[in-house]
Amino acid sequence: MTADFRRLLTLRSALLAVCTSNLVVSCQALKRQQSAVKIAGGTPVEDGRYPEVIQFHSENGVLFEEQCTGVFIDPQVILTAGHCVWKQSDPKLALRQTSYDPGDFEELPRKHIPNPYADDIAELEKNPGSQKVSFALAGEQGLPHNSHCFLVTPGWALGSGGPGSRHDLAMILLDPKDQSKSVASRLTQPAAAGMKVTYVGFGWNEKFGVDHGIKREGHNQIGEVTKDGVIQTYGGSTGKPMVREGDSGGPLYIDNKLAGIASALQYGIKKSVCDGTTCEDKVVDVGFHVDLTEQRNIAFIERGLQALKSGQIDPNVGKGCASRNKSEFIRALQNKSYLGGS
């Protein structure tokens, strides 16, 4: 069993997307795991702030829909979490349980639950065009813009890592008519423990499903940056704000520069929490963010931006976009034609 797979099985609230289908087991699990944190703990953003941060509606086939957060890094590119636009098909990534409660992840012999996205994945294999995201730019009403064009990290598409891993990263590529005037600047220095951070997202506040859809910001600090490209922040007993369901794909800023993308939330983990020169072991909630200062993630983003600017990717006609047919995706990796890298 890989380290990424073990992490996936222990993530009590694996996906931070807001789910709108009762058929999806991993979303149901969120309902049974409450936390006392509230950008939970954050404050509503004043009008005009963070115009590059948007909420979008993602349709992943015929059964599954969700709301996520994304951030513009280019007028035609939204960066978000991979799980917001691309459900993994590997059966080993299905959830497991010991009882009827999908939130029960205790280390006991488990009964296998089929991959909750299997029907959607099958539909997308047959009809890749059924997947799209819809969104509004800052100051707009409704969902006037949409895209069917995505790039995901190869590791995410092939199941090398689940939510909470560095692989949980995607780019939504847009036609020029849907572009944004506001974009985020990316951090160029490495992220490090102790750095002050700001989250921005549209997720829940306090209780399950409360005040979803309101843009909030919260302030915390980095607890740990792992060698495999993940930034961790701590909440719960620390009293600090935390990302919650619906904040998936949202930005983590350091000095107003984009440093991470919200991926997952894990409850009740023992960590060494430091405040200045003092450290103390505490049971905390852990937020996982894809580290955008990690070299492999930088390379993935730069390849996508370059391919879009050179015309290798044309979202209007689907040219260069990732194929949702797994066989075609693997062929593109093998012949090195996939524009998201290898």
Query: Over pLDDT 70: what percentage of the chain?
Result: 69
pLDDT average, residue stretch 168-179: 96
pLDDT average, residue stretch 142-151: 93
pLDDT average, residue stretch 244-253: 88
Question: DSSP string spanning 217-284?
Answer: EEEEEEEEE-TTSEEEEEEETT---B--TT-TT-EEEETTEEEEEEEEEEEEEEEEEEETTEEEEEEE
SS3 for 216?
Answer: strand
Both structure tokens of 114? 């089929």
Q: Is the pLDDT of residue 125 over 90?
A: no
pLDDT of residue 89: 55
Give the bridge partners for 70, in sequence order.
54
Q: Is the pLDDT of residue 26 over 60?
A: no
pLDDT of residue 130: 60
CATH number of 8-35+54-184+296-334: 2.40.10.10
User: What's phi and psi for 219, nearest 5 deg?
Assistant: -120, 140
pLDDT of residue 74: 98
pLDDT of residue 177: 95
Q: Which of 1-5, 125-129, 193-197, 334-338 has the lowest mean pLDDT?
A: 1-5
Cα gap 5→160, rounded to integer Å: 8
Q: Are 124 and 139 in contact (CB under 8 A)?
A: no
pLDDT average, residue stretch 195-203: 92
pLDDT of residue 328: 80
pLDDT of residue 324: 72
State pLDDT tens for residues 276-285. 778 888 888 8
pLDDT band at 120 (very low <50, low <70, confident <90, very high): low
pLDDT band at 121 (very low <50, low <70, confident <90, very high): low
pLDDT of residue 298: 95
pLDDT band at 75 (very low <50, low <70, confident <90, very high): very high
pLDDT of residue 35: 29
pLDDT of residue 127: 60
What letter represents residue 180's amino acid? Answer: S
pLDDT band at 261 (very low <50, low <70, confident <90, very high): very high
Question: Is the pLDDT higher at 157 or at 307?
Answer: 307
Domain residue limits, the chain: 8-35+54-184+296-334, 196-293
Fold matches, 8-35+54-184+296-334 and 196-293: yes
Supply the mean pLDDT for the chain. Answer: 76
Please, which residues have CB within 8 angstroms of residue 116's CB and are 6 or more apart in sequence? Answer: 23, 24, 25, 26, 27, 94, 95
pLDDT of residue 205: 64
Topology given in CATH for the domain delimited by 196-293: Thrombin, subunit H (2.40.10)
DSSP state of 314: B
